[in-house]
Amino acid sequence: MPHTAPRHLAEGPRVGIRPFTPDDAAEFTARVRESRELHRPWLFPPATTEAYAAYAGRLIEDEDRAGFLVCDKDDGGALAGYVNINNIVRGAFQSGALGYGAFAHAAGRGLMKEGLNLVVGHAFGPLGLHRLEINAQPGNTASLALARSCGFRLEGYSPAMLHVDGEWRDHERWALTAEMRTSG
């Protein structure tokens, strides 16, 4: 899928990250539909243009969210996945909760690890956050492995924490602070 996109906010050897735009709807939703088997039962990203418009609009407009597309530099900037910082709280907390998903064609290639690390750097740098959290269901081994590989530490277990796919699901809570990143 050819892609002309805005400039990356940050780049690594294989990926760049950039904000969501309304123009990403066709590629994003096509990638979501191709990735349904990979995402279920953990993720339910928008699979239609209308759902994408609402989803991306919140990430673009809301001050308590920031969304980033992970773009594969070797594939002409094709979308490899996404990382969102949700529930950003300022003041003394300076924290946000991460959500992310790889697309099937890019899964297992290390692109999301590189992309997540770029988002963490952006969060602790230009966004001025101090702490990031990942909440993942215990059976989502790929998500837990990504959190661990990026230096997040397990902080706890929360029964019935988030409502996912019609049920309250248990989650492991992983976190990383700016100090942990610089000392690690």
Q: What are phi and psi of 47, to 5 degrees?
A: -110, 0
Separation in Å, CA 90 to CA 6, 87, 95, 97, 142: 27, 10, 7, 13, 30
Looking only at the bridges linking them, the beta strands covering 78-89 and 15-19 are unpaired
What are 85's two structure tokens?
A: 């910082």
Whole-prediction pTM value? 0.93
Q: Distance from CA of residue 105 to its chain's centroid?
A: 16
Separation in Å, CA 109 to CA 43, 54, 87, 102: 19, 30, 29, 10
Q: What are phi and psi of 43, to 5 degrees?
A: -125, 150
What are 31's two structure tokens?
A: 């990638």
What are 11's two structure tokens?
A: 């780049």
CATH of domain 10-183: 3.40.630.30
From start to end of the chain, where are the E strands?
10-11, 15-19, 66-72, 78-89, 95-102, 131-136, 153-164, 167-177
Q: Where are the domains of the chain?
A: 10-183
Per-residue pLDDT tens, the chain, 184 aa: give them: 444 556 888 999 999 999 999 999 999 999 999 999 999 999 999 999 999 999 999 999 999 999 999 999 999 999 999 999 999 999 999 999 999 999 999 999 999 999 999 999 999 999 999 999 999 999 999 999 999 999 999 999 999 999 998 999 999 999 999 999 877 5
> pLDDT at position 6, please?
62
